[in-house]
Homo-oligomer: A and B are copies of this chain.
Amino acid sequence: MANSKFEYVKAFERDDRILPSTWIVVRIDGRGFHKFTERHGFTKPNDARALHLMNAVAMEVVKDLPDIVLSYGISDEYSFVLKRNTTLFERRESKIVTTIVSNFTANYIYMWPDYFPETKLQRPLPTFDGRAVPYPTTHILRDYMRWRQVDAHINNLYNTTFWALIQQGGMTAAEAEKELAHTLSADKNEILFSRFGINYNKEDEMYKKGSVIFREFEKGKEVDGGEDVPDERMTKSQLEKRKKAYKKSQIVVRFVDIMNDPFYDERPWILGTAKE
């Protein structure tokens, strides 16, 4: 930007760098997706094409920003975890959040035809908002992941039962809602099984668990992503080594438990080994 006497207006910009040494979670959410999914004929309660599209889009975001060590998607939302010591964009909140949101949106529109070849996108277009939240300890970050996965479970069980009552039980939405008011998980499982012969445990893992994106390395060639060493403090050869290992690593989507230790214990490169 060129100099001028009006440049003083830049002084009104706030320094929005996120507290160092905290895990940064960027969560994005579809705006007005209830109507959007109706207008575009999404299958209920889950539309596999739409979820695979979300996952493919998230993969592109992760490829673009290697400091993302873990991502988790359910329904029309996705959470991206940046490694604790990331210095991406000097940790500036606006820059981080808008870059991820823009990247996600661009890919969603761009890849839409691959997943919905027969449904043309119509206005209002799908868009996403986002926010960044810092988590000071790995323990609390782990609870964040649990929060989202519990949410996924509760919502999916509800939706599966709700739509079974409508699609197979012939109820209206209002009737189904009333039927499910004050029911517990066990009740919903029972409704599904006794009335519709659905064993919830056998439902698609992607629907029940949500989608988890992370890096897998060849055995013995693991490189720590979430480790407590900022890039600036790594030597050139360390950075080079990681870069190579990253290239050979594979970004994968899995539908697995992230509530408990095994997932993290088996992949210490994701959040590191520090127990907090």
Interface residues of A (CB under 8 A from B): 1-2, 4, 6-15, 17, 19-22, 28, 31, 64, 93-95, 97-99, 101-110, 121, 124-137, 140, 143-144, 146-147, 150-151, 154-155, 274, 276
Contacts and interface: CB of A to CB of B under 8 A. Distances in A.
A129 B105 CA distance: 12
Given A2-B150, A151-B2, A20 B12 contact: yes
Nearest to A233: B8
7 contacts: A4-B154, A12-B20, A13-B133, A95-B129, A101-B102, A102-B104, A109-B110
Given A31-B102, A109-B106, A136-B136, A95 B20 contact: no
Contact of A2 (B128, B143, B154, B276): B154
B121 A19 contact: no
Contacts of A124: 64
A144 B102 contact: no
Contacts of A101: 98, 101-102, 105
Highest count of chain B CB atoms <10 Å: which of A1, A95, A127 = A127
**Nearest 10 pairs between A and B by C-beta?**
A6-B147, A136-B136, A2-B154, A102-B127, A15-B15, A109-B109, A106-B125, A94-B131, A105-B105, A98-B129
Given A12-B140, A110-B121, A137-B136, A102 B128 contact: yes
Given A143-B8, A150-B4, A136 B94 contact: no
Nearest to A124: B64
A267 to B, nearest CB: 20
Contacts of A64: 124
Nearest to A7: B147
Contacts of A276: 137, 274, 276
Contacts of A107: 125
A147 to B, nearest CB: 4
Nearest to A15: B15
